[in-house]
């Protein structure tokens, strides 16, 4: 073939190629699979809601479909799915709830946003992740929305949650749920054994040891002293901080339990954190044999079945325990603020020192408590890259869910996974009593939570860039190896220190320090 | 558009030159242009699909493994970091995760390692003393010896004493132990089923079932079954006094559970292929042997086994390649625990990816690719040797 | 007495042999059926019946309830379930068929034609792919990068490509195709994700189908190549002498003879695509989630919802089992692997 012929062919092929490629690159009108009938895009319909296509004309978000991503329910997702049709009736917008397993949520949200796919309009996720998303401009600044929204009653939201869902002074997510770790105990079993609800973690271990193996639910088999789940990639990395915080933080919330506020070194390679590790591991001695493969769902289930004397959990057990269908511990469940410690960390020496007026200014009866506001509560954020109408509709939906009329009904039901976060929800006992709490139980439960939030030494969860990597990747792995016996306490503490230092270095020590101090209000 | 496409085909065929079928194939009496192009048309779609969706992502992934992923304003960025991700896997922060925790040397480790080294030395020597030595052959065998040596070193130091297996070793355990049992069971069942027994079709269908279930489903099913407090075997555990024992807390217990699930699921694959192979055997040699007075063991050893050997090797190769990619069972049954005791390489890559440590995830995936290729090459050469011998 | 140990015909075992065989087969059948049975009864249990310990026989040990079935099929999860189920039903058989079509033709070609791809051409291609990747990484828009690399490829093909005369053969091509199976999906998922995202095909059927077809082509080629090589060549020669074109021969002669192989391969690929989890997790976000994702998702923070999961697993298995039973006779006839040596 002569060269002229060759050149002609080559050119024509190149032209063909470029045409092909650019044709493929055109935004294909999002070819929704042809078989997708409108009915499928709706949230599962409650019996009374009409189909979106029947919404009377003139509604504000007619024809808008919003896709919200959260993790698989039924907790947390179910109220969204249940109230979707109501929202549709009010506003004409169709709500589509997409769920993925909890461990996938972070990367699904991030991949969707950074790759520009934007398949989701909103996310119901961990507010701590805002510090990764907001600086990159991936979530919408909701301050103007919130300020214009009277139905939301933003001031009724507890101050802690207003802060936790803000970053650099702007609101980026709407809380639907409030989170605080508490210890729940069997009133009857402890009374029978003549034991007091634990005030310190040493007490906790003592109670657990004393009651381990006793038959707590009357079925003739031995039960467990303590049920705290320990499976990898589950909740371990939150439990450990509930135990460690009172050993490390004693000077108030703005001290922070995670890092040294002068040089951003992790506060983990010291006697306090090591003691916490040992306590955490020891609780396993008094628990179910397969605790290392259990998540909070399992341990919660065991407590509700009456098989545990003590457990630690978020607020869910309160309303779950009064439900006759699922609970064998109605009227037998007590809730207290997290146990504390009589020894605290001396930040200079890394050793534990006894509690006194200077070391523990907020001690109660000589015990330093640092209730851990773990996780911060599920909150809804809006994708900054979608159309204005989508953003408005998504915000409206989250606001709708957070408004007192809906929220008050959801937080009193255990299976929703939503726990109280509004001041009014703590102060007004009536909805709780209507839901089935006895007066005493409601008071004790709500006081437990409220005390924790009001505590001047409450510990907030970590909220700096790469918090996911610090906590849910590195800490989780080292913790699971420690529990499995692959690492000694010293090795675990050292490895955690090293890996956190690596992350801090990569992210920029000074920047991280600024962030961290910012979240502590310093 | 059509002529452009045929232009493209012409250009490519210029270089692939499908020749007219040789005399050992057959003569095409009518050879039109379309017929000449048939060779290209038949194979081109597959080649293109594999080129764009396998090779291109593979090479792109190589780049990713040499880079670091970060969120940047407006999206994301990859920063080139060279071999840093790989370094972390071998000598850096992920070393114990990937390779395992190395115990110190003991007489036992030296003995085992020594034995393997001597065997490899014999192997190389035998080749060198052979008349037909080629450079590529020598290099290949040297690489093989070095590879096996390194793997043995790793295994020997992590399997016992206070060593801990890394994800690479765990994957090897899953693959080899799993395939061993799958093959033995599959062969045994196949031999039993091809007999002239009434009702064997029923067994065949039943035995096929486990393969049909999604691995995630199998994992959950086995988690249910092995639950010592709620599962169906609880009375047995109680009887044996194991009620307080949980296999989850024990590294090898957890691995055994996963192996059982894996064997349960994939034995049908071996089974069905071996049944096909056994049934397609010609009957005459067996009849002749029986007439000559051979018993069934002798028939198996001298007639059946050589006949199904090629099939078995291909079958094991297929299953070998698949087995290295195990991920659903460790993920669902144990979340990779206790600690990292049941994490396979794909799981390792998966959790890195989930943590958005994408460069590291790609590096682990590449190490897996090297490992699979290494063993597959060994096996393919084994097959080639065998079939050459039987010819 | 001696008769118990004698077999009547070649393949029929003696009565003792038959007994032992049935015993062994029965044990394994039990090992298979029991977990499935457990699955079925768990789908009829409610949470407390699972938590309180094993109950074995419905109506005797425990009272079965249809709660799980209702929840999955008509209750809160029904929309998700039906959508994901229909996604699976669309994606899996379609991918299997397309993979079968492409792979069977390629397998036939590899057996009947002689290919001589030149090493030079291959190296040039790889070089141009690397070139395009590097330029894209440096920020050039991908349309330009690809066009430039394509041009470079064609130009270089004539020069460097011609230099290395050595050519590979059919076996090498086959080996390359089959070795694609060694690729862990985790390795290629990010480039594929970005690729589909650039083409705006994320979360569509097309993305899943294309990916499944590509990852299963090696299996199809492997199985079909071995099968096609057992078809005698004389039939095709006769047809060719009679004047049939290659396409005609393939369509009317080879394919009908290859039906057992095609069916067996189809079943295998169907099983792989039906049950696939990892790629579906990566590539789907809202609209095309498949059923394995729903199963994995039942592991909620409340603890694994065993009853819901059992229902979902059963829904997933039933169609495949039905197909397998119907096609069973083809499977053993169609799996003649190992016929091609090397």
Angstroms from B368 CA to nearest CA on chain C: 7
Give the closest residue to A450 by CA, choosing from A304, A266, A315: A315
Residues B150 and B70 in one domain: no
Reported ipTM: the value is 0.84
Residues B131 and B184 in one domain: no
DSSP one-letter string for A100-142: E-GGGHHHHHHHHHHTT----SEEEE-GGGHHHHTTTT-B---
Helices (H) and strands (E) in chain A, counts: 22, 15
Q: Taking CB atoms and an 8 Å limit, are C281 and A295 in contact across chains? A: no
Give the closest residue to A317 by CA, choosing from A453, A461, A182, A225: A182
Is B18 contained in some domain? no
Q: Taking CB atoms and an 8 Å limit, are C202 and A73 in contact across chains? A: no
Residues B172 and B232 in one domain: yes
Q: What is the pLDDT of residue B5?
A: 44
Q: What is the pLDDT of residue A286?
A: 92
> Which is it for strands A308-313 and A224-227: parallel, antiparallel or unpaired?
parallel
Query: To probe the interface with B, which of A100, A117, A221, A232 has the most B CB atoms within 10 Å?
Result: A232
Q: Taking CB atoms and an 8 Å limit, are A290 and B251 in contact across chains? A: no
Q: What is the pLDDT of residue A15?
A: 53
Identify the band that residue B247 occupies on the pLDDT scale cut at 50, 70 and 90.
Answer: confident
Asked if C310 and C225 count as a contact pair (C-beta separation under 8 A), the reply is: no
Angstroms from B46 CA to nearest CA on chain A: 19
Give the closest residue to A295 by CA, choosing from A462, A480, A110, A469: A480
Q: What is the pLDDT of residue B21?
A: 39
Which of A419-433, B25-39, B40-54 tops mean pLDDT?
A: A419-433
Residues B109 and B256 in one domain: no
Q: What is the pLDDT of residue B6?
A: 43
Is B265 contained in some domain? yes
Please state, for a pLDDT cut of 70, what percent of chain A lies above it. Answer: 89
Angstroms from B107 CA to nearest CA on chain C: 37
Q: Taking CB atoms and an 8 Å limit, are B335 and A469 in contact across chains? A: no
Q: What is the pLDDT of residue B53?
A: 84
Q: What is the pLDDT of residue A28?
A: 34
Residues B248 and B300 in one domain: yes
Neighboring chains of A (3 or more beta-carbon pairs < 8 A): B, C
* Ramachandran bin of C53, using left for φ above 0, alpha for ψ from -120 to 50, beta for the remaining angles: left
Q: What is the pLDDT of residues A175-206, one digit of tens each?
A: 999 888 999 999 999 999 999 999 999 999 99
Identify the band that residue A482 occupies on the pLDDT scale cut at 50, 70 and 90.
Answer: very high
Is B278 contained in some domain? yes
Q: Of B7, B76, B351, which has the smallest distance from its Cβ to A114's Cβ?
A: B76
Q: How confident is the prediction for chain A on average, in pLDDT?
A: 83
Residue B36 has pLDDT above 70, yes or no: no
Q: What is the mean pLDDT of residues B208-232?
A: 84
Residue C39 has pLDDT above 60, yes or no: yes
Q: Of B73, B248, B337, which has the smallest distance from its Cβ to A137's Cβ?
A: B73
Looking at beta carbons, which residues of chain A come within 8 Å of B73?
135-137
Identify the band that residue B198 occupies on the pLDDT scale cut at 50, 70 and 90.
Answer: confident
Which of A39-53, A469-483, C103-117 tops mean pLDDT?
A: A469-483
Q: Taking CB atoms and an 8 Å limit, are B336 and A233 in contact across chains? A: yes
Q: What is the pLDDT of residues A259-315, one digit of tens each?
A: 999 999 999 999 999 999 999 999 999 998 888 888 888 888 888 888 899 999 988
Residues B254 and B379 in one domain: yes
Identify the band that residue A208 occupies on the pLDDT scale cut at 50, 70 and 90.
Answer: very high
Q: Is C193 on the interface with A (CB under 8 A)?
A: yes
Q: What angle do the packed helices C185-198 and B345-354 form, to 10 degrees?
A: 40
Angstroms from A374 CA to nearest CA on chain C: 15
How far apart, in whole angstroms, are the C-alpha atoms of residue A278 and residue A290? 19
Q: What is the pLDDT of residue B387?
A: 60
Please name the residue of chain B whose CA is at the shortest distance from the CA of residue C139. Answer: B77
Q: What is the pLDDT of residues C306-320, one digit of tens each?
A: 888 888 888 888 888
Q: What is the pLDDT of residue B122?
A: 87
Q: What is the pLDDT of residue C76?
A: 67
Residue A34 has pLDDT above 80, yes or no: no
Residue A399 has pLDDT above 80, yes or no: yes
Please name the residue of chain C whose CA is at the shortest distance from the CA of residue A68. Answer: C286
Residue C302 has pLDDT above 90, yes or no: no
For tokens 């397309």, name the residue. Answer: C98
Q: Is B208 on the interface with C (CB under 8 A)?
A: yes
Q: What is the pLDDT of residues C93-128, one digit of tens each?
A: 999 999 999 999 998 888 888 877 777 777 777 888
> In chain A, what is the straight-line distance between the N-terminal and C-terminal CA atoms, in Å?
77
Please name the residue of chain B whose CA is at the shortest distance from the CA of residue C323. Answer: B212
Which C-chain residues 38-67 have CB contacts (< 8 A) with chain A? 47-48, 51-52
Q: What is the mean pLDDT of residues B55-75?
A: 83
Is B117 contained in some domain? yes
Q: What is the pLDDT of residues A68-83, one digit of tens each?
A: 998 876 778 888 888 8
Q: Hey, what are B71's tokens?
A: 């969120």
How far apart, in whole angstroms, are the C-alpha atoms of residue A17 and residue B5? 10
Please name the residue of chain B whose CA is at the shortest distance from the CA of residue C296. Answer: B216
Element housing C300 (H / E): strand C299-300
C-beta atoms surrounding B327 within 10 Å: 25
Which C-chain residues 101-130 have CB contacts (< 8 A) with chain A? none
- Lowest-pLDDT choice from A160-164, A325-329, B185-189: A325-329
Angstroms from A282 CA to nearest CA on chain B: 14
Which C-chain residues 241-280 have CB contacts (< 8 A) with chain A? none
Identify the band that residue C242 occupies on the pLDDT scale cut at 50, 70 and 90.
Answer: confident
Q: Is C82 on the interface with A (CB under 8 A)?
A: yes
Residue B227 has pLDDT above 60, yes or no: yes
Looking at beta carbons, which residues of chain C come within 8 Å of A31?
204, 206
- Lowest-pLDDT choice from B214-218, B226-230, C213-217: B226-230
Q: Is C336 on the interface with B (CB under 8 A)?
A: yes
Angstroms from A168 CA to nearest CA on chain C: 31
Q: What is the pLDDT of residue C299?
A: 66
Is B17 contained in some domain? no
Q: Is B39 on the interface with C (CB under 8 A)?
A: yes
Q: What is the pLDDT of residues A98-146, one digit of tens each?
A: 888 777 888 888 888 887 788 899 999 888 888 888 888 889 999 999 9
Identify the band that residue A29 occupies on the pLDDT scale cut at 50, 70 and 90.
Answer: very low
Output Rg (C-alpha) for chain A, integer angstroms.
26
- Lowest-pLDDT choice from A8-12, A236-240, A446-450: A8-12
Neighboring chains of C (3 or more beta-carbon pairs < 8 A): A, B
C-beta atoms surrounding A441 within 10 Å: 23
Angstroms from C245 CA to nearest CA on chain A: 28
Q: Taking CB atoms and an 8 Å limit, are A137 and B334 in contact across chains? A: no
Which B-chain residues 84-123 have CB contacts (< 8 A) with chain C? none
Whether the bond between A108 and the residue before it is cis, its omega within 30 degrees of 0, is no
Q: What is the pLDDT of residue C338?
A: 60
Does residue C307 or residue A170 have the better pLDDT? A170
Q: What is the pLDDT of residues A320-350, one digit of tens each?
A: 888 887 788 888 888 888 999 999 999 889 8
Q: What is the pLDDT of residues B266-317, one digit of tens each?
A: 999 999 889 888 888 888 888 888 888 877 788 888 888 888 888 888 889 8
Angstroms from A104 CA to nearest CA on chain C: 9
Residue A6 has pLDDT above 80, yes or no: no
Residues B66 and B172 in one domain: no
Does residue A234 or residue C302 have the better pLDDT? A234
Count of domains for chain B: 3
Q: Of C143, C146, C297, which has the smallest distance from its Cβ to A99's Cβ?
A: C297
Looking at beta carbons, which residues of chain B come within 8 Å of A288?
229, 246
Q: How confident is the prediction for chain C on average, in pLDDT?
A: 81
| Residue B92 CB partners (closer than 8 Å, separation 6+) | none
Q: Hey, what are B137's tokens?
A: 């052959």
Residues B137 and B240 in one domain: no
Q: Taking CB atoms and an 8 Å limit, are A486 and B339 in contact across chains? A: yes
Q: What is the mean pLDDT of residues B140-168?
A: 85
Q: Of B7, B227, B228, which has the smallest distance from its Cβ to A13's Cβ?
A: B7
- Lowest-pLDDT choice from A43-52, A273-282, A500-509, C149-158: A43-52
Does residue A219 or residue C315 have the better pLDDT? C315
How far apart, in whole angstroms, are the C-alpha atoms of residue B333 and residue C290? 21
Residue B26 has pLDDT above 50, yes or no: no
Identify the band that residue B261 occupies on the pLDDT scale cut at 50, 70 and 90.
Answer: very high
> Which is it for strands A122-125 and A166-167: parallel, antiparallel or unpaired?
unpaired
CA A70 to chain centre: 12
- Of the three residues B132, B162, B192, the one that is the final residue of a domain is B162
Q: Taking CB atoms and an 8 Å limit, are C86 and A35 in contact across chains? A: yes
Q: Of B11, B338, B353, which has the smallest distance from its Cβ to A13's Cβ?
A: B11
How far apart, in whole angstroms, are the C-alpha atoms of residue B200 and residue A216? 52
B94: domain range? 89-102+166-389
Measured at the alpha carbon of residue B100, what is the angle toward residues B361 and B358, in degrees to the nearest 5?
Answer: 10
Q: What is the mean pLDDT of residues C255-269?
A: 88
Q: What is the pLDDT of residue A245?
A: 93
Q: Is C41 on the interface with B (CB under 8 A)?
A: no
Distances (CA, A) of A222 to A212, A309, A421: 8, 11, 37
Identify the band that residue B20 occupies on the pLDDT scale cut at 50, 70 and 90.
Answer: very low
Query: To probe the interface with C, which of B85, B182, B212 has the most C CB atoms within 10 Å?
Result: B212
Looking at beta carbons, which residues of chain A come within 8 Å of B243?
289
Q: With respect to CATH, is domain C78-115+172-341 assigned 1.10.3720.10?
A: yes
- Of the three residues B162, B194, B213, the one that is the final residue of a domain is B162
Is B178 contained in some domain? yes
Report the CATH number that the domain containing residue B274 is assigned in CATH. Answer: 1.10.3720.10
Looking at beta carbons, which residues of chain A come within 8 Å of C161?
none
Q: What is the pLDDT of residue A33?
A: 34
Angstroms from A292 CA to nearest CA on chain C: 13
Q: What is the mean pLDDT of residues A233-240?
A: 89
Q: Which residues pair with residue A310 across a beta bridge?
A: A185, A226
Residue A292, CB-side half-sphere exposure with 13 Å CA sphere: 30
Q: What is the mean pLDDT of residues A364-387?
A: 90
Looking at beta carbons, which residues of chain C come within 8 Å of A17?
146-147, 150
Looking at beta carbons, which residues of chain C come within 8 Å of A28?
199-201
How far apart, in whole angstroms, are the C-alpha atoms of residue A368 and residue A247? 8
Residues B177 and B131 in one domain: no
Q: Is B386 on the interface with C (CB under 8 A)?
A: no
Q: What is the pLDDT of residue B284?
A: 84
Which C-chain residues 72-101 have CB contacts (< 8 A) with chain B? none
């Amino acid at each position: 073939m002569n060269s002229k012929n060759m050149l002609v062919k080559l050119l024509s092929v190149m032209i063909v190629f470029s045409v092909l490629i650019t044709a493929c690159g055109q935004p294909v009108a999002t070819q929704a699979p042809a078989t997708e009938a409108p009915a499928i895009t709706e949230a599962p319909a409650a019996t009374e809601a009409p189909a979106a296509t029947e919404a009377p004309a003139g509604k504000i978000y007619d024809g808008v479909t919003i896709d919200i991503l959260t993790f698989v329910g039924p907790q947390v997702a179910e109220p969204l799915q249940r109230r979707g049709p109501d929202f549709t009736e009010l506003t004409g917008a169709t709500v589509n709830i997409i769920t993925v397993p909890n461990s996938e949520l972070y990367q699904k949200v991030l991949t969707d946003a950074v790759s520009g796919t934007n398949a989701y309009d909103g996310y119901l996720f961990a507010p701590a992740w805002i510090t990764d998303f907001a600086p990159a401009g991936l979530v919408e600044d909701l301050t103007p929305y919130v300020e214009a929204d009277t139905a939301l009653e933003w001031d009724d939201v507890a101050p802690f949650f207003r802060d936790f869902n803000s970053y650099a002074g702007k609101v980026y997510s709407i809380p639907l749920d409030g989170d605080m770790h508490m210890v729940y105990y069997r009133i009857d079993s402890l009374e029978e054994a003549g034991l007091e609800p634990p005030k310190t973690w040493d007490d906790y271990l003592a109670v657990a040891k004393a009651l381990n193996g006793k038959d707590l639910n009357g079925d003739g088999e031995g039960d467990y002293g303590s049920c705290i789940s320990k499976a990898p990639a589950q909740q371990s990395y939150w439990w450990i901080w509930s135990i460690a915080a009172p050993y490390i933080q004693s000077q108030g919330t703005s001290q922070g339990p995670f890092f040294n506020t002068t040089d951003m070194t992790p506060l983990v390679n010291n006697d306090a954190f090591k003691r916490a590790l040992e306590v955490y591991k020891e609780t396993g001695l008094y628990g179910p044999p397969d605790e290392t493969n259990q998540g909070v769902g399992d341990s919660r289930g065991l407590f509700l079945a009456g098989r545990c004397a003590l457990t630690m959990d978020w607020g869910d057990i309160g309303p779950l325990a009064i439900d006759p269908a699922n609970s064998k511990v109605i009227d037998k469940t007590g809730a207290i603020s997290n146990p504390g410690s009589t020894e605290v960390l001396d930040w200079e020496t890394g050793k534990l020192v006894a509690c006194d007026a200077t070391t523990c200014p907020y001690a109660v009866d000589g015990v330093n408590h640092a209730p851990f506001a773990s996780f911060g509560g599920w909150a809804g954020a809006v994708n900054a890259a979608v159309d204005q109408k989508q953003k408005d509709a998504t915000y409206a939906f989250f606001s709708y869910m957070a408004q007192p009329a809906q929220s008050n009904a959801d937080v009193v039901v255990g299976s929703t996974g939503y726990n109280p976060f509004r001041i009014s929800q703590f102060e007004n006992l009536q909805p709780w009593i209507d839901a089935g709490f006895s007066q005493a139980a409601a008071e004790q439960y709500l006081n437990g939570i409220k005390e924790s939030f009001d505590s001047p030494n409450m510990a907030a969860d970590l909220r700096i860039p790469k918090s996911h990597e610090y906590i849910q990747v590195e800490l989780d792995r080292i913790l699971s190896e420690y529990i499995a016996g692959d690492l000694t306490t010293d090795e675990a503490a050292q490895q955690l220190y090293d890996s956190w230092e690596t992350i801090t270095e990569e992210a920029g020590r000074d920047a991280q320090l600024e962030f961290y101090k910012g979240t502590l209000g310093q | 558009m059509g002529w452009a496409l045929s232009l493209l085909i012409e250009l490519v065929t210029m270089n692939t030159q499908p020749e007219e079928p040789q005399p050992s194939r057959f003569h095409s009496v009518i050879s039109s242009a379309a017929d000449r192009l048939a060779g290209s048309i038949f194979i081109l779609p597959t080649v293109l699909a594999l080129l764009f969706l396998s090779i291109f992502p593979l090479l792109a992934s190589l780049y990713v493994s040499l880079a670091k992923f970060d969120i940047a304003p407006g999206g994301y960025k990859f920063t080139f970091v060279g071999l840093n991700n790989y370094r972390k896997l071998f000598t850096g922060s992920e070393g114990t995760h990937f390779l395992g925790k190395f115990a110190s040397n003991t007489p036992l480790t030296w003995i085992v390692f020594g034995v393997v080294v001597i065997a490899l030395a014999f192997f190389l020597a035998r080749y060198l003393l052979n008349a037909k030595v080629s450079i590529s052959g020598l290099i290949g065998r040297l690489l093989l010896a070095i590879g096996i040596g390194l793997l043995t070193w790793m295994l020997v130091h992590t399997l016992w004493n206070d060593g801990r297996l890394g994800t690479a070793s765990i994957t090897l355990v899953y693959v080899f132990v799993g395939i061993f049992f799958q093959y033995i069971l599959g062969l045994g069942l196949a031999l039993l089923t091809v007999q002239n027994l009434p009702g064997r079709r029923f067994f065949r269908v039943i035995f096929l079932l486990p393969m049909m279930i999604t691995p995630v489903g199998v994992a959950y099913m086995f988690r249910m079954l092995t639950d010592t407090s709620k599962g169906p075997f609880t009375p047995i555990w109680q009887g044996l006094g194991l009620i307080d024992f949980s296999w989850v807390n024990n590294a090898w217990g957890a691995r055994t559970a996963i192996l059982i699930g894996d064997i349960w699921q994939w034995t049908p694959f071996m089974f069905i292929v071996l049944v096909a192979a056994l049934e397609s055997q010609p009957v005459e040699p067996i009849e002749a042997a029986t007439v000559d007075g051979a018993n069934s063991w002798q028939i198996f050893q001298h007639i059946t086994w050589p006949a199904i050997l090629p099939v078995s090797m291909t079958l094991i190769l297929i299953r070998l390649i698949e087995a290295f990619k195990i991920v659903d069972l460790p993920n669902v049954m144990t979340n990779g625990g206790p600690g990292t005791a049941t994490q396979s390489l794909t799981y390792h890559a998966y959790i890195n990816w989930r943590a958005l440590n994408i460069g590291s995830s790609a590096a682990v995936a590449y190490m897996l690719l090297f490992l699979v290729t290494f063993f597959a090459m060994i096996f393919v050469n084994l097959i080639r040797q065998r079939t050459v011998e039987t010819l | 007495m001696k008769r118990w140990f004698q077999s009547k015909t070649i393949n029929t075992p003696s009565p003792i042999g038959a007994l032992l065989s049935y015993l062994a087969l029965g044990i394994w059948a039990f090992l298979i059926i029991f977990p499935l049975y457990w699955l079925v009864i768990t789908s009829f249990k409610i949470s407390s019946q699972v938590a309180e310990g094993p109950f074995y026989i419905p109506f005797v040990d425990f009272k079965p309830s249809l709660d799980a079935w209702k929840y999955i099929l008509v209750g809160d999860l029904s929309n998700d379930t039906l959508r994901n189920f229909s996604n699976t039903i669309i994606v899996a058989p379609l991918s299997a068929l397309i993979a079968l079509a492409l792979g069977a033709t390629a397998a036939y070609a590899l057996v009947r034609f002689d290919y001589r791809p030149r090493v030079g051409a291959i190296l040039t291609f790889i070089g141009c792919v690397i070139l395009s990747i590097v330029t894209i990484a440096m920020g050039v828009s991908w349309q330009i990068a690809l066009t430039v690399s394509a041009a470079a490829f064609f130009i270089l093909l004539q020069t460097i490509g011609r230099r290395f005369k050595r050519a590979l053969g059919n076996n090498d091509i086959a080996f390359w195709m089959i070795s694609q199976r060694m690729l862990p999906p985790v390795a290629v998922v990010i480039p594929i994700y970005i690729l589909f995202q650039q083409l705006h095909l994320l979360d569509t059927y097309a993305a899943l189908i294309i990916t499944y077809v590509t990852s299963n082509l090696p299996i199809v080629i492997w199985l079909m190549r071995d099968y096609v090589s057992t078809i005698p060549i004389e039939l095709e020669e006769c047809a060719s002498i009679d004047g049939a074109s290659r396409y005609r021969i393939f369509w009317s002669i080879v394919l009908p003879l290859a039906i057992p192989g095609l069916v067996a391969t189809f079943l295998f690929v169907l099983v792989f695509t039906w049950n696939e989890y990892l790629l579906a997790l990566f590539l789907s976000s809202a609209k095309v989630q498949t059923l394995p994702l729903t199963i994995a998702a039942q592991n909620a923070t409340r603890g694994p919802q065993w009853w819901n999961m059992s229902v979902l697993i059963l829904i997933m298995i039933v169609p495949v089992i039905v197909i397998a039973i119907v096609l069973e006779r083809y499977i053993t006839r169609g799996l003649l692997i190992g016929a091609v040596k090397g």
